Amino acid sequence: MGQLERLPHALLLSGPQGVGKLHLAERFAQLLLCEAPGRRTAPCGRCDGCRWFLAGNHPDMRFVEPETMARQTASEDEDEGVDRPKRKPSAEIRIEQVRALADFLNLVSHRGGRRVAIVHPAEAMNPHASNALLKSLEEPPQAAVFLLVSHRPSHLLPTIRSRCVPAPVALPAAAAALAWLGAQGVDEAARWLAFAGGAPLRALEYASGERGERIDRILKALARGETAELEGVKDRDALELLAEVLQKHAFDSALASLGLPRRFTPAIASQAMESRVWLSYAREMGRNRALARHPVNARLHASEMLSRLPRT
Question: For residue 62, what are the β-bridge partners?
Answer: 117
- pLDDT at residue 73 in the model: 47
What is the per-residue pLDDT across 229-259, written as a single tens digit (0 to 9) for each? 888 888 888 899 999 999 999 998 898 888 8
Mean of the pLDDT values across residues 107-128?
92
The contacts found for 183-188 with CB under 8 angstroms, 24 or more apart, are none
Residue 87 has pLDDT above 60, yes or no: yes
21-30, 68-77, 187-196, 259-268: lowest mean pLDDT where? 68-77
Query: Mean pLDDT in the chain?
Result: 87
Domain end call among 110, 138, 168: 168
Task: Provide the residue range defining the domain that includes 288.
Answer: 208-307
Give pTM, 2 decimals: 0.80
- pLDDT at residue 85 in the model: 53
254: in domain: yes
Q: At what angle do helices 236-257 and 298-307 cross, to 10 degrees?
A: 10
Amino acid, single-letter form, for residue 37: P
- Residues 220-252, buried b or exposed e (16+ Cβ, 10 A)? ebbeeeebeebbebeebebbbbbbbbbbbbbbb
Band the pLDDT of 80: cuts 50, 70, 90: very low
What is the per-residue pLDDT across 180-219, written as a single tens digit (0 to 9) for each? 999 999 988 998 999 898 999 999 988 887 888 889 889 8
How many domains are there within the chain?
Answer: 2
Select from 253, 221, 254, 238 the least CA-distant residue to 288: 238
Considering the domain architecture, whether residues 63 and 119 belong to the same structural domain is answered as: yes
200: in domain: no
Residue 2 has pLDDT above 60, yes or no: no
Contact criterion met (CB below 8 Å) for 64 and 93: yes
